[in-house]
Structure 1
Amino acid sequence: MRLLNKIALITGAAAGIGEATAELFIREGAHVVLADRDFEKVRAVANRLGVNAHAFSADVSKSAQAKAMVDETVARFGGLDVLVNNAGYGCLGTVETLEEDAWDDLMNVNLKSVFMCSKHAIPHLAKRGSSSIVNMASTISVVGIPNRVGYVAAKGGVAAMTRAMAIDHASQGIRVNSIAPGVIASSYYDRIFEQVVDPVAFKKALEARSPSNRMGSPHEIATMALWLASDESSFATGAMFTIDGGFTAW
């Protein structure tokens, strides 16, 4: 029960890493609000997880909706100890081929949402004395990959923002860290598979990117989020924790 009576808010919680993190947090004793734009899907996840889970519909790139989500968490459970900024998605495109609207949406969902949710959560997190923000970055925060310029730029911003936030809010007892997943079997890659000519060959190429020669699981990322949310990581702030099967070690 490493999060016994902790109150957590997880964005992008309808599937993948967000869903796995919510499930693990509840198993470890937390009360969790699961937020997502897809309310029917996130409500089904919350119903499956039981009475300590509550679903909320929000576009977390919008200030009013992010604030309403935080306010709902505090009103329902009495405070806020952990914010997991997990909402995000990616799409193909270079500077030349990516449309401006797609660029703006990538920035809003992946980067602006971290700003908006943290802005509204920090006053509540500061009241707890010891609290945690976990931002979902990516291995491509530090290495480039082809044909993903918007996603690379947004996740690089998440990593940089994490460091700045850690410095700004350490005196308030708020730790801010990021996780850099490698290739994780999730709805993000499901969408990519739908866009490529040969999904089987593309999947094999993804797996071959790391010495582990496989895709990771959402649960393997959730276990790091659990450690960062718990008091066990009390001296960790401003860091990015890479879980990528050795991809960045090549």
Structure 2
Amino acid sequence: MTGRLRDKRIIITGAVGNIGKAAVEAFVAEGARVVIGDVDVARGEEAAAAFGPAVRFVPVDVADEASLAHLVEAGVDWLGGLDVLAQNAGLMRSGSILDFDAAAFDRLFAVNVRALFIGARHAIPHLKKSGRGSIINTASLAGKRGGPGLTAYAASKGAVIAFTTTLALELAPERIRVNAICPGWVDTAFNQPIIDFMGGPEAQAAKVSAMVPLGRQGQPHEIAPLFVFLASDESSYVTAQSILADGGAFNG
């Protein structure tokens, strides 16, 4: 531990998935205290127990405003304040536009976009008190560069990028920074719907090899350092950014 996040008080959603769990591990290793929120109660409690006394689990359904408000308030109570809100919960759905109905589209936006708006609204008063707040939103390469089968998902992540940029400008006078992380292909179960749409793992591997200059998928531990950087005072002059971690795919 180098203590880059010593005394930082962090709430993170989507904390038990591959990228979220790697981010929590990195936060704790750098000295932060972390409240982890997720809809998966069993895995959340298991993760909190494994991480030890610096971590507490609070169940949350980010699509439900009351649940999300409870996460923020319970987290602030336990942490004694709030310095960082990492909004990592997300939903992946894929398929042609003709296979999507309005309910599926609305559910995607409820989790990927609306939840970030609500989470920020509840967290901002506490971040103002800290005087050094940071909001980290998880977007995606798909929000900058879509593809077949990703119409709804890419639209939701594009909205996250626009939300991040605009909120950063609004909150700059309050010394609250807002940035987004945009992972490309990362080796997680989260991507299974688009892998299935592409025709399975072999077809997906061929696509990754062709589109990613580094020639491979990323790993969750390669995304986690961006969470640490954006949570830390090292990024004190970084705001309104959507940072790609995509192996060069956007420019490939």
Q: 8 Å contact 1:61–1:116 — kept in the other structure?
A: no
Regions of 4+ moved over 6 Å: none
Q: 8 Å contact 2:149–2:197 — kept in the other structure?
A: no
- Range that drifts further, 91-100 or 81-90: 91-100
**d(CA) in 2 for partners of 1:207 and 1:59?**
36
Give 1:205 shift.
Answer: 1.8
Q: 8 Å contact 1:139–1:180 — kept in the other structure?
A: yes
Equivalent residue for 2:77, pick from 72, 75, 78? 75
- Range that drifts further, 203-212 or 105-114: 203-212
Q: 8 Å contact 2:94–2:193 — kept in the other structure?
A: no
- Secondary structure in structure 1 of the residue aligned to 2:186: coil
**d(CA) in 2 for partners of 1:151 and 1:18?**
19
1:102 paired residue number: 104
1:21 paired residue number: 23
Q: 8 Å contact 1:80–1:128 — kept in the other structure?
A: yes
1:154 paired residue number: 156
Report % sequence identity.
38
Q: 8 Å contact 2:149–2:194 — kept in the other structure?
A: no
Q: Which digits, 9 at most, give the CA deviation of each residue in 1:195-249, with x for residues without a partner?
A: 6543222233234320111100111111011101000000111011111000011
Q: 8 Å contact 2:95–2:197 — kept in the other structure?
A: no
**d(CA) in 1 for partners of 2:236 and 2:164?**
16
Taking the TM superposition and a 5 Å limit, the aligned residue runs for 1:101-250 are 101-193=103-195, 197-250=199-252
2:87 paired residue number: 85
Give 1:89 shift.
Answer: 1.8
Q: 8 Å contact 2:45–2:57 — kept in the other structure?
A: yes
- How high is the TM-score relative to the length of structure 1? 0.96
Give 1:5 shift.
Answer: 1.3
Give 1:191 shift.
Answer: 4.4
Taking the TM superposition and a 5 Å limit, the aligned residue runs for 1:46-65 are 46-65=48-67
Amino acid at match of 2:249: F
Q: Which digits, 9 at most, give the CA deviation of each residue in 1:11-56, with x for residues without a partner?
A: 1011211110001000100000111111111111111111111111
- Secondary structure in structure 1 of the residue aligned to 2:97: coil
**d(CA) in 2 for partners of 1:110 and 1:207?**
28
- Secondary structure in structure 2 of the residue aligned to 1:208: helix
Give 1:187 shift.
Answer: 2.0
Unaligned segments of structure 1, at least 5 residues: none
Amino acid at match of 2:34: V
Amino acid at match of 1:143: R
**d(CA) in 2 for partners of 1:178 and 1:197?**
30
Give 1:194 shift.
Answer: 5.0
Give 1:142 shift.
Answer: 1.4
**d(CA) in 1 for partners of 2:95 and 2:196?**
15
Q: 8 Å contact 1:114–1:135 — kept in the other structure?
A: yes
- Secondary structure in structure 2 of the residue aligned to 1:96: helix
Amino acid at match of 2:118: M
**d(CA) in 2 for partners of 1:81 and 1:20?**
19
Query: Does 1:5 find its partner at 2:7?
Result: yes
Q: 8 Å contact 2:23–2:227 — kept in the other structure?
A: yes
**d(CA) in 2 for partners of 1:198 and 1:138?**
21
